[in-house]
Structure 1
Amino acid sequence: MTNALALVAPVDTLAMEFTRDFDAPVAVLFRAHAEPELVKRWLGPHGLEMAITEWEFRSHGGYRYSHADEHGEYAFNGTFHTVRENEFILQTFEFDGAPDMVNIEYLWFEDLGGGRSRLRGRSICPNVEARDALLSSGMEGGMTEGYEKLDRLLADL
């Protein structure tokens, strides 16, 4: 089953919010966000090779990864500020190509019952220009493709 991504950027805010349902239990969805070998299998759009150079998935841990294709490499880093298993992740997110434009990202994992779950997220950008640049960069398409890959991964777990 394909579940649609709902992504909105409320007017007069610095936020982007999304919701996506998955046909998998919360614990499996959370595990796919926690384990670097699983994250590499789904995060990002089709056609990009992912490398993770740092992954300390715990409160006050950090991460660094990159995506690469024939056009170049795109690196990202951040800090996992709060991790509560099967429940919540609070992290920062920074693209090396836009230094000092750090987003604060919230992820909530909800049990819908019947082996289904919902992921809700909110990303707060440092300014409206940064938010609009992300939205115009094809972020929604990349998220949709990544979550399609995640659906396939979850079916295998």
Structure 2
Amino acid sequence: MTDTTEIIVEPGRQDIVVSRVFDASREEVFAALTDPRLVAQWWGAGGPGELEIAEFEARRGGTYRHINRDETGAEYVFSGVFHDVEPPQRVVQTCEFEAMPGHIALESASLEETDSGGTAYMSLSVYPSVEARDAIVAAGMEQGVRAGLQKLAELVES
């Protein structure tokens, strides 16, 4: 399985754009983004360790909280609020890496059907400042996104 993930981090901007095409239906990809049992199988798949989904209610006003534990037991916690959930085409939520309080991103993921029957995924994350965006990038965001989307592909394309 080839990694087709594209990540755009332009200098001087406060956003990150991520795109990838999955060889799976839009409904399957949407389910993997919004069903906590499926999210637990791919999210935060950057390395050894475990993911605990402490909260997850994919509906307008619902919240989520993921606790990633690495092999040493260190915890990396991400949380947010769902602002819009439109099956099977869009999810809008906030995301905060709790180790960097105040660097809250507004994330919008959209899913479009491709001519070949797959799904084009595009995510736009907007941070409160260029500095906040750059801090997340420096913390290893790209590696984590690539690894997670690769696991997502393995899940929905099998």
Could you state the TM-score of these two structures normalised by the residue count of structure 1? 0.94
Match of 2:111 in 1: 109
Unmatched runs of 5 consecutive residues or more in structure 1? none
Match of 1:46 in 2: 47
> For residues 76-119 of structure 1, what are the alpha-carbon distances to aligned partners after superposition, in whole Å with 9 as ceiling and x for unaligned?
11000000001111100011101122111010111103330111
Cα distance in 1 between the residues matched to 2:18 and 2:32: 18
Match of 2:100 in 1: 98
Match of 1:62 in 2: 63
Between 1:72-81 and 1:136-145, the stretch displaced more is 136-145
Cα distance in 2 between the residues matched to 1:4 and 1:37: 25
CA contact (8 A) 1:3 1:22 kept: no
Match of 1:18 in 2: 18
Aligned Cα root-mean-square deviation (Å): 1.3
Match of 2:84 in 1: 82
Matched, 1:122 2:85: no
CA contact (8 A) 1:3 1:21 kept: no
Amino acid at match of 2:112: E
Give secondary structure in 1 for the equivalent of 2:147: helix
Match of 2:156 in 1: 154
Unmatched runs of 5 consecutive residues or more in structure 2? none
| CA-CA distance at 1:47 after TM superposition | 1.3
Match of 2:31 in 1: 31
Identity in percent: 34
| CA-CA distance at 1:71 after TM superposition | 5.0
CA contact (8 A) 2:22 2:157 kept: no
Cα distance in 2 between the residues matched to 1:130 and 1:115: 37
Match of 2:139 in 1: 137
Amino acid at match of 1:21: V
More strand by share: 1
Cα distance in 1 between the residues matched to 2:103 and 2:126: 10
